[in-house]
């Protein structure tokens, strides 16, 4: 993990309420798909955790939804050439075994962004089937990146584009046909719970969790989640990716 003073190359709106931020770290930093960074925003003591979407040499791209004051300030005040303090790479990231050749990625909301990193990492080396959920047509973004795999099913709550309904439902309808060796997922808790009840036990499923974070490096315990055996884990350091049966959702 490093703390870098990153120079902003681009910070632009790419969909309703979604921005893409690309910054240069000044050196190449290896980042695994599913790892994240903590972005410092002026005026906020706590950095904001955001998944790395693309890592290309010293250039890192993250995509963020406008949520509260921190992400709004990031979108409204940071421009090309300005600097940001960023900690990265953080967390464990996704791990796919050599023998797992067919990967399904199932995402919803801001959970699609770490999964884009997984599609970029594994396609075309492996077969990748993506089921990505958005609110509506206006919130769809990064479609080009999501199409790098063998299949993309865009899902919207209102059916304004693609499949009408959740990405979990679309995935389960295809399950018998694609027969994935492993599933990587990220999204809101109800979506992950639905995935757990539908797919766990039939295929290994790894979920990336979102918890509020303080430090992002394992020191403050703000992000602790409960494991099914009763123990606790730090989402920032032991995760954010866990085997779905390992954690209470």
Ligand X SMILES: Cc1cc2nc3c(=O)[nH]c(=O)nc-3n(C[C@H](O)[C@H](O)[C@H](O)COP(=O)(O)OP(=O)(O)OC[C@H]3O[C@@H](n4cnc5c(N)ncnc54)[C@H](O)[C@@H]3O)c2cc1C
Which residues here bind ligand X, judged by CB under 6 A?
Answer: 36, 46, 48-51, 62-65, 67-71, 110, 113, 210-213, 240
Q: Which of residues 168-227 bind ligand FES (CB under 6 A)?
A: 213-216, 218-223
Question: Of 90 and 182, which has the nearer Cβ to ligand FES?
Answer: 90
Backbone angles phi, psi at 43, to 5 degrees: 95, -5
Say how far apart CA 80 and CA 77 lie, in whole Å.
Answer: 10
What gap in Å lies between CA 186 and CA 188, rounded to an integer? 7
Neighbours of 191 (CB within 10 A): 23
**Binding partner selected for residue 219 from ligand X, ligand FES, none, CB under the kind-specific 5 to 8 Å limit:** ligand FES
Residue 104 in tokens: 């399904």
Determine the angle formed by the axes of helices 167-178 and 189-199, rounding to 10 degrees.
30
CB of 60 to ligand X, least distance (A): 12
Residue whose CB is less far from ligand X, 77 or 202: 77
Closest separation in Å from C-beta 178 to ligand X: 25
Toward ligand X, which CB reaches closer, 12 or 164?
Answer: 12
Q: Which is nearer to ligand FES, 187 or 216 (CB)?
A: 216
232 interacts with ligand FES by CB under 6 A: no
Could you give the CA distance from residue 130 to residue 248 in angstroms, rounded to a whole number?
Answer: 25
Q: How many CB atoms lie within 10 A of CB 91?
A: 28
Angle at 79 between CA 77 and CA 84, to 5 degrees: 80
3 lines the binding site for ligand FES (CB under 6 A): no
Q: Give me the least distance between CB of 70 and ligand FES, in Å please.
A: 15
Smaller CB distance to ligand X: residue 76 or 125?
Answer: 76
CA-to-CA distance for 115 and 191, rounded, in angstroms?
A: 15
Residues binding ligand FES (CB under 6 A): 213-216, 218-223, 234, 236-237
């Amino acid at each position: 993990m490093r703390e870098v003073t990153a120079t902003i190359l681009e910070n632009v709106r790419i969909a309703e309420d979604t921005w893409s931020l690309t910054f240069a770290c000044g050196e190449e930093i290896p980042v695994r798909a599913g790892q994240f960074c903590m972005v410092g925003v002026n005026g906020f003591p706590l950095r904001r955790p955001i998944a790395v979407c693309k890592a290309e040499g010293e250039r890192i791209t993250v995509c963020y939804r406008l949520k509260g004051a921190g992400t709004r300030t990031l979108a409204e005040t940071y421009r090309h050439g300005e600097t940001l303090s960023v900690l990265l790479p953080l967390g464990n990231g996704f791990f796919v075994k050599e023998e797992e050749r067919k990967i399904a990625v199932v995402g919803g909301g801001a959970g699609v962004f770490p999964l884009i990193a997984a599609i970029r990492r594994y396609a075309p080396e492996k077969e990748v089937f993506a089921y990505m959920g958005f609110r509506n047509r206006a919130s769809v973004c990064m479609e080009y990146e999501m199409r790098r795999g063998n299949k993309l099913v865009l899902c919207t709550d209102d059916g304004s584009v693609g499949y009408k309904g959740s990405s979990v439902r679309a995935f389960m309808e295809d399950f018998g046909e694609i027969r994935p060796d492993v599933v990587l997922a990220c999204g809101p808790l109800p979506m992950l719970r639905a995935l757990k009840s539908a797919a766990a036990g039939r295929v290994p499923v790894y979920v990336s969790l979102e918890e509020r974070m303080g430090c992002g490096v394992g020191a403050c315990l703000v992000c602790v989640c409960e494991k099914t055996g009763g123990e606790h884990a730090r989402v920032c350091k032991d995760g954010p990716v866990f085997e779905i049966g390992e954690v209470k959702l």
